[in-house]
Amino acid sequence: MKLIFVIPLMIACSNVQAQTLFMAYKITGKVFQIKKGQQISFKTGNYLNENDSIIVGPNSSVVFICNKLSLLELSRQQLYPLKKFTSSCKSPANSYAAEYFAYILEAFGKVHDKPEEHRKKYMNNLGGIVRGDCGGITFENYIDSVRYCFGNFSLRWKLLNTVGTASIVFNSTTSERPAFSLPVKNNSFSVSNLSKEGLTEDAYTWKMNIAGVNDCQEKYFELWSKTEFDKLITHIEKNFDEKLQKAEKNYRIGFYLERMHFFSEALYYYQKALKLSPSNEIYEKTSLLVAKTYKLY
Amino acid sequence: MMKYLFIRDTIFATIAAFLIIAAFKFIPLNLHIFDPVKAAFSDIQFNDLAFSKIKKEEKFDENIIIINVDTAKRKDIARLLTTVSNCNVSVIGMDVLFLDSSTSNMADRMLGNVMNSTPNLVVAEKLIWVKGKPLVQNYYVSEAHNTGYANFIGEEKGVIRSYSPFEKDSLVVHKSFTSAIMEMADINNYHALEKRDNEIELINYKRSTENYMVFDWLDVLDNKVDAALLKNKIVLLGYIDNTGFNIADKHYTPLNKDFIHKKVPDMDGVIIHANILSMIMANQFIHKMPNWLNFLLAVFLTYLHIAIFVNYYINNHKWLHVRFIDIVAIQFLLSIIFISVGISLLRLNYYFDFTLPLYAIMLSLYVLYFYEGFTNWIKKKYNFKTIFSHSNH
């Protein structure tokens, strides 16, 4: 009689033991887990089991450590049911020949350098934990606080989860107006669209909303009217010497604006300075650097 | 054998052995895959065996204390820094890389201010190479008084065996995280490191996490750790994996217990830094044999082997065929002897890279066959004088 209870228990235990666990070790690009038909992002250190499937996006890859035994790297753009890889998680002692041939396949064509002889090439291993993102989203430093009036400027970030379900939410800091939410399809959001969408001049906080992924804190954004912006420029100009050349005046306005996080507007004034004095190397280099740093293209 | 020690063919055959090794080096394929020993020891240096089995030091290094920051956020780390700096520590090493801003401006500023008011703090940063020039990436570069790069040298997912103590360009000398800490903790040891003037230093691994005192950041903040314990110590703030499963800052090292099939990375980055600091403080640097001496030794050993084989090749060639397996076994035995010598030297903190002599010795017999064929060809064509002829067979 006891066997009736013991046998299913043994079967259950053996099943638990047989379960293959895949721990995400390194994720590059867009890699998602499929759960109940939905794409869900996962992080380094998360465990997946053999019943899970993953999707590896273009130019992306994932490395798993399966059952704390072996590394498994998936880098082709396709759907992978993890069940397919359970055999590669067995102890290598069981199949030395299989391990050897797997090694041949992996290693053939890969030249092993001596890292000590080419240190510059092999100094990419960081011995410290990296902090500075939230829940799989890494924001560009400078977008912590942005002021904007005109020009081509985008809020940018890198995110690992699906871009289809993300939205950006703006909340006014001065009034009780309801939150302003817009869907995000790429890894950037052009703020020049805000006025078209009905957002008026105000100070806002904004954050990314991605279901079940992150609880990022808010960032700061000011939308300026042209009238107010012109007032600011007049105020800046008041501080300049009257004898100052026009090109230099524009360059300095650009500098002040950049410091105030008016990025696209700063570029406008740097370029204006360059137009007035095309041979000036500093104006040229600054314009290029500002366009590159803040990705103003 | 002495008879063949000083003949031209022995010299030429030795040169041929090295030429063949050089030719293999330029073939853009990984020919090691056909070597089962190499396959089993993939990304293993025989010296790793010495580290994993012999060199382990069981004693704690009481000069270094590690505080695990775990999931502490910037404002928590700022509080932790304030608490630790009030304990009169020698140096604080922040092994957390802040490469960009967080989501809270206030927390960013708070941590920046604390960094600015902590003169004995060294903040880790990332070193990148742009057009051959070293540049550093650090969000708090203007707030921190002292910084150092936390990069190690090693292939991706490869074993970390070395680091670079200094990186220089024409204007700046960038210090590694540990070099910057040592400069503040003990200037004499720092000068000793500087004087060595090595582009890379091999890491003398002696301790794993169990051999350092590690405290949790919450315990330090809750005053559960006696401040007297931290006094005059080097305190490293870094990430330690308590679970054994989190590999966020974990690396493969030669101390990996599973030294052949290295499957899971074994050491947190902060422990590697601690090992480097222990090495510098105890003046237990690994002295690497100069390349020229290594090469000369390889030439000498190969030359001896070739002389022995030439003797049998000329006088008892049949024996060479009959006892071929024995000869390979002898070569293998010799290799083991070299490996043992290498391990013994490593125990004395002396590193001898025996890869070249090992390959040269292994190749020496096969090279003789190739050499015989080649010399017979030039003998016919240019009347080259050689002791080899087909009648030897």
**Distance from the Cα of residue B279 to its chain's centroid:** 13
Percent of chain B with pLDDT over 70: 83
- Which of A58-62, A96-100, B117-121, B273-277 has the lowest average pLDDT? A96-100
> B32 and A112 in contact by Cβ < 8 A?
yes
**B391 part of a folded domain:** no
> Which comes out higher in pLDDT, residue B385 or B121?
B121
Q: What is the DSSP letter of B287?
A: E
> B103 and A219 in contact by Cβ < 8 A?
yes
Q: Summarize pLDDT for A137-195 with one digit per residue, the tens.
A: 666 656 667 889 999 898 887 765 554 567 888 877 666 666 778 877 777 888 887 87
Q: What is the pLDDT of residue B234?
A: 97
In this complex, the residue of B40, B238, B261 whose CB is nearest that of residue A129 is B238
**B124 part of a folded domain:** yes
Q: Which residues of A touch B39 (CB under 8 A)?
A: 99-100, 103-104, 107
**Residues B149 and B214 placed together within one structural domain of the fold:** yes
In this complex, the residue of B103, B160, B239 whose CB is nearest that of residue A125 is B160
Which of residues B230, B262, B285 is at a domain's end? B285
Task: State yes or no: pLDDT of A3 exceeds 50.
Answer: no
The SS3 call for residue A37 is coil
Whether residue A71 lies within 8 A of chain B, CB to CB, comes out as yes
Q: Tell me how close the Cα of B4 comes to any Cα of chain A, in angstroms.
A: 36
Which of residues B230, B256, B285 is at a domain's end? B285
**Residues B13 and B115 placed together within one structural domain of the fold:** no
Domains of chain A in start order, with CATH, are 16-91 (no CATH), 133-223 (2.60.40)
Q: Summarize pLDDT for A123-150 with one digit per residue, the tens.
A: 878 888 777 655 556 666 566 678 899 9
Q: Tell me how close the Cα of B226 comes to any Cα of chain A, in angstroms.
A: 26
Which of residues B285, B306, B334 is at a domain's end? B285
**Residues B121 and B68 placed together within one structural domain of the fold:** yes
- The pTM of this model reads 0.60
Mean pLDDT (chain A, rounded): 75
Altogether, the residues listed in chain B come to a count of 393
**Residues B299 and B230 placed together within one structural domain of the fold:** no
* Cα–Cα distance list, A42 to A56, A133, A156 (Å): 12, 15, 21
Q: Summarize pLDDT for B148-204 with one digit per residue, the tens.
A: 999 999 877 678 989 999 998 877 899 999 999 999 999 999 999 999 999 999 998
**B109 part of a folded domain:** yes
In whole angstroms, what is the distance from residue A72 CA to residue A61 CA?
Answer: 11
Q: What is the pLDDT of residue A196?
A: 76
Number of independent structural domains in chain B: 2
Interval A104-125 mean pLDDT: 68
* Residue partners of B197: CB distance under 8 A and separation at least 6: none
> B248 and A44 in contact by Cβ < 8 A?
yes
> B251 and A139 in contact by Cβ < 8 A?
no
> A129 and B28 in contact by Cβ < 8 A?
no
Q: At what angle do helices A281-293 and A246-259 cross, to 10 degrees?
A: 30
**Residues B37 and B57 placed together within one structural domain of the fold:** no
> B39 and A100 in contact by Cβ < 8 A?
yes
Q: What is the pLDDT of residue B47?
A: 58
**B232 part of a folded domain:** yes
Q: Summarize pLDDT for A203-219 with one digit per residue, the tens.
A: 787 877 776 555 555 67
What is the DSSP pairing of strand B162-163 with strand B151-152?
unpaired
Handedness of CA B155, B159, B162, B167 (dihedral sign): positive
* Residue partners of A203: CB distance under 8 A and separation at least 6: A172, A173, A174, A220, A221, A222
Q: Is residue A5 very low, low, confident or very high in pLDDT (cuts 50, 70, 90)?
A: very low
Q: What is the pLDDT of residue B143?
A: 92
**Residues B122 and B236 placed together within one structural domain of the fold:** yes
> Which comes out higher in pLDDT, residue B46 or B180?
B180
Whether residue A144 lies within 8 A of chain B, CB to CB, comes out as yes
Element (H, E) at B340: helix B324-347
**Residues B314 and B276 placed together within one structural domain of the fold:** no
**B140 part of a folded domain:** yes
Q: What is the pLDDT of residue A10?
A: 42
Q: Is residue B34 very low, low, confident or very high in pLDDT (cuts 50, 70, 90)?
A: very low
**Residues B169 and B209 placed together within one structural domain of the fold:** yes
Altogether, the residues listed in chain A come to a count of 297
**Residues B315 and B255 placed together within one structural domain of the fold:** no
* Amino acid of residue B1: M
**B153 part of a folded domain:** yes
**B315 part of a folded domain:** yes
**Residues B88 and B236 placed together within one structural domain of the fold:** yes
What values do phi and psi take at B325, rounded to 5? -60, -40
Domain that holds residue B354: 2-42+288-386
**Residues B295 and B206 placed together within one structural domain of the fold:** no
Report angle CA A219, A222, A227 to the nearest 5 degrees. 175
**Residues B253 and B314 placed together within one structural domain of the fold:** no
Identify the closest residue of chain A to B124 by CA–CA distance.
A128
Q: What is the pLDDT of residue B271?
A: 95
Q: For residues A59 and A27, is the Cβ–Cβ distance under 8 A?
A: no
Q: Summarize pLDDT for A12-35 with one digit per residue, the tens.
A: 443 444 567 787 766 778 888 887
Q: Tell me how close the Cα of A236 comes to any Cα of chain B, in angstroms.
A: 26
- Which of B102-106, B127-131, B264-268 has the lowest average pLDDT? B102-106
ipTM of this complex: 0.72
**B393 part of a folded domain:** no
Whether residue A128 lies within 8 A of chain B, CB to CB, comes out as yes
Q: For chain A, how long is the longest CA-to-CA vector? A: 105
Report angle CA A114, A117, A123 to the nearest 5 degrees. 85
CB pairs under 8 A between A and B: 166
Mutate to test the interface with A, among B103, B137, B264, B286 (most CBs of A within 10 A): B103
